[in-house]
């Protein structure tokens, strides 16, 4: 079958939403006033923002992946609506993409995917929508989530569903963006960033689901991931603001199905999932919490600017405090005035990290400083980081300073990106601990302060991943 050629669409100039800002055109909020600096060379829709929402109340649902059982005799037909899901989402893709692995994944993983707590968390949020859905997703090939969106639109034609996907979906042999498009769901391709790495979905501008979980089958069944759904209007509004910023960018274009060329093979690490209580029991769970009077830092990263405070007027109008979000390592100097680094520098007892990619030099220095203050610091990272020069240099330095680093090879990927501080504060999102995540990608994370119940759930997951790991060792030369 001939590969479909990518059609280059003209850039569509869109008006930026009120309160959006640019990498060098900042908004500084001071005494409820907004001032703009005059540096107009950067698109005013790329930069992101950081804000604190104080004393928030909300209902939360939390799920951790993977869900997978060893020696299972289950099959995909045990899932509700299995034949309809397959016909709607997978059949059209495999007809267009000879290299697609969706059929084999369906046979091997669909039973676990449809029963995974993390997939159901997203599906449940979609089925609850009454007015609108706004999704921004890096990787999209999960048939249950695609089908949930399509069914939501069929059942309520007035439901306003729109999806932004990273440009990598144009060549992914398993991507389902063409199926969404063919079922009257508009899709936009984000090309302004090194990667549009977000994984979030806003429901009715009232709730939002986000985390490390890409909307793919293996992210639910073979990778260590986490996701949170939070029912809070302020937090949802901040994610809508960011979605609008990305959509308004000139390099975010309307997707047409003839752009898809289906040329890139799906990722397969070749690492088998190790059966454990986490994979066979906890991976099915959706945990529910009620949150009261919790301060939440909401951060949407893409910052490489000398202004300390960057925040849309619409966010401060919600009663949020705009925060400094300037963080990178340059010419031997650490610039780390952001909620992420502040959480580390304010730690009193412990810092526990589970991370996919770790190359941040400033973070290494801050963790060492925390250790020297008497803080317990422990890290577990994906096996790929055990051989990457940018990671191993940091790991060597951490170990030399008495910090325990473990490597986990129990999953296709340890794809989590979260940190637990003092047993009561949790940071999690799409944000890997790299300079690219800070200054080149479209990312998001939240920090929940002084919420012990949430921290205990993440601590339980972290301990399982950490216990599976083995001590980092210097790679053989």
pLDDT confidence bin for 8, thresholds 50/70/90:
very low
Q: What pLDDT was estimated at residue 387?
A: 87
Query: What stretches of 275-416 adopt beta strand conformation (E)?
Result: 287-301, 321-322, 326-330, 333-337, 350-355, 376-382, 404-408, 413-414
Q: What pLDDT was estimated at residue 112?
A: 98
pLDDT confidence bin for 17, thresholds 50/70/90:
very low
| Structure tokens belonging to residue 415 | 């794809």
pLDDT confidence bin for 38, thresholds 50/70/90:
very low
Please state whether beta strands 160-166 and 287-301 pair in parallel, antiparallel, or not at all (unpaired).
Answer: unpaired
pLDDT confidence bin for 390, thresholds 50/70/90:
confident
Q: How far is CA 253 from CA 127, 146, 302, 304, in A?
A: 27, 21, 19, 24
Cα distance between residue 322 and residue 430, in whole Å: 21
Summarize the chain as % helix, strand, coil (round to 5): 35, 30, 40
Cα distance between residue 111 and residue 282, in whole Å: 16
Q: What pLDDT was estimated at residue 28?
A: 27
Averaged confidence pLDDT in the chain: 87
Q: Is the pLDDT of residue 9 over 90?
A: no
Q: What pLDDT was estimated at residue 314?
A: 86
Q: Is 192 exposed, middle or buried (0-12, 13-18, 19+ CB in 10 A)?
A: middle
Cα distance between residue 121 and residue 113, in whole Å: 12
Mean pLDDT of the region 262-291: 94
Least confident of 206-220, 386-400, 458-472: 386-400
Mean pLDDT of the region 410-427: 98
Q: Checking phi first, is residue 353 left (phi over 0); if not, alpha (psi -120 to 50) or beta?
A: beta
Q: Could you tell me if 354 and 418 are in contact, meaning their C-beta atoms sit under 8 angstroms apart?
A: yes
Tell me the per-residue pLDDT of 201-210, one tens digit each, with 9 for 90 and over: 999 999 999 9
Q: What pLDDT was estimated at residue 335?
A: 56
Q: What pLDDT was estimated at residue 27?
A: 27
Mean pLDDT of the region 298-309: 64
Q: What pLDDT was estimated at residue 1?
A: 35
Q: Is the pLDDT of residue 33 over 60?
A: no
Q: The pTM is what?
A: 0.89
Mean pLDDT of the region 128-135: 98
| Structure tokens belonging to residue 105 | 């994944």
Q: Is the pLDDT of residue 12 over 60?
A: no
User: Where do runs of H (alpha helix) occur along 249-378?
Assistant: 277-280, 313-317, 339-345, 361-372
Q: How far is CA 225 from the centre of its chain?
A: 9
- Who has greater pLDDT, 311 or 284? 284
Least confident of 45-49, 110-114, 240-244, 382-386: 45-49
Q: Is the pLDDT of residue 30 over 50?
A: no
* % of the chain surpassing 90 pLDDT: 74
pLDDT confidence bin for 49, thresholds 50/70/90:
confident
Q: Could you tell me if 162 and 188 are in contact, meaning their C-beta atoms sit under 8 angstroms apart?
A: yes
Q: Is the pLDDT of residue 251 over 70?
A: yes
Cα distance between residue 344 and residue 347, in whole Å: 5
Q: Is the pLDDT of residue 310 over 80?
A: no
Q: Is the pLDDT of residue 16 over 70?
A: no
Q: What pLDDT was estimated at residue 332?
A: 47
Mean pLDDT of the region 232-251: 94
pLDDT confidence bin for 322, thresholds 50/70/90:
confident
Q: Is the pLDDT of residue 427 over 50?
A: yes
* % of the chain surpassing 70 pLDDT: 86
Q: What pLDDT was estimated at residue 266?
A: 85
Cα distance between residue 193 and residue 190, in whole Å: 7
Q: Of the ranges 13-27, 114-128, 297-311, 332-346, which is most confident? A: 114-128
Contacts of 171 (CB under 8 A, 6+ apart): 260, 261, 262, 263, 264
Tell me the per-residue pLDDT of 72-131, one tens digit each, with 9 for 90 and over: 999 999 999 999 999 999 999 999 998 999 999 999 999 999 999 999 999 999 999 999
Mean pLDDT of the region 236-258: 94
Q: What pLDDT was estimated at residue 439?
A: 76
């Amino acid at each position: 079958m001939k590969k479909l050629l990518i059609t280059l669409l003209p850039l569509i100039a869109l008006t930026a939403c009120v309160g959006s800002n640019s990498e060098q055109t900042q908004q500084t909020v001071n005494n409820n006033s907004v001032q703009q600096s005059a540096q107009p060379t950067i698109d005013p829709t790329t930069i992101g923002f950081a804000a604190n929402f104080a004393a928030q109340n909300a209902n939360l649902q939390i799920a951790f992946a993977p869900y997978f059982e060893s020696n299972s005799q289950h099959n995909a037909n045990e899932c509700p609506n299995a034949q309809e899901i397959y016909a709607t989402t997978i059949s059209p893709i495999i007809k267009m993409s000879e290299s697609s692995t969706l059929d084999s994944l369906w046979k091997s993983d669909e039973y676990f995917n449809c029963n995974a707590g993390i997939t159901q968390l997203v599906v449940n949020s979609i089925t609850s929508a009454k007015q609108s859905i706004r999704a921004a997703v890096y990787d999209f090939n999960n048939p249950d989530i695609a089908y949930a969106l399509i069914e939501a639109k069929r059942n309520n034609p007035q439901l306003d569903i729109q999806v932004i996907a990273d440009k990598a979906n144009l060549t992914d042999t398993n991507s389902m963006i063409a199926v969404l498009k063919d079922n009257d769901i508009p899709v936009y391709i984000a090309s302004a960033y090194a990667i549009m790495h977000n994984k979030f979905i806003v429901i009715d501008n009232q709730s939002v689901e986000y985390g490390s979980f890409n909307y793919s089958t293996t992210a639910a069944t073979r990778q260590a991931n986490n996701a949170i759904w939070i029912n809070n209007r302020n937090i949802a509004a901040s994610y809508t603001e960011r979605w609008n910023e990305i959509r308004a960018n000139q390099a975010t274009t309307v997707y047409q199905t003839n752009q898809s060329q289906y040329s890139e093979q799906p990722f397969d690490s070749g690492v088998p999932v190790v059966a454990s209580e986490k994979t066979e029991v906890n991976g099915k769970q959706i945990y529910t919490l009620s949150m009261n009077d919790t301060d939440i830092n909401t951060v949407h990263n893409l910052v490489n600017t000398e202004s300390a405070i960057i925040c849309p007027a619409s966010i401060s109008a919600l009663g949020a405090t705009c925060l400094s979000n300037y963080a990178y390592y340059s010419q031997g100097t650490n610039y780390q005035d952001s909620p992420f680094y502040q959480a580390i520098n304010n730690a009193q007892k412990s810092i526990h990290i589970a991370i996919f990619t770790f190359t941040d030099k400033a973070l290494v220095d801050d963790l060492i400083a925390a250790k020297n203050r008497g803080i317990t610091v422990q890290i577990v990272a994906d096996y790929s980081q055990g051989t990457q020069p940018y990671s191993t240099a940091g790991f060597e330095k951490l170990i030399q300073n008495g910090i325990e680093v473990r490597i986990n090879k129990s999953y296709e990927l340890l794809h989590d990106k979260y940190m637990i501080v003092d047993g009561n504060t949790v940071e999690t999102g799409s944000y890997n601990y790299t300079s690219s995540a800070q200054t080149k990608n479209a990312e998001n994370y939240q920090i929940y302060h002084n919420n012990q119940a949430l921290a205990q759930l993440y601590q339980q997951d972290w301990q399982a991943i950490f216990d599976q790991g083995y001590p980092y060792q210097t790679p053989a030369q």
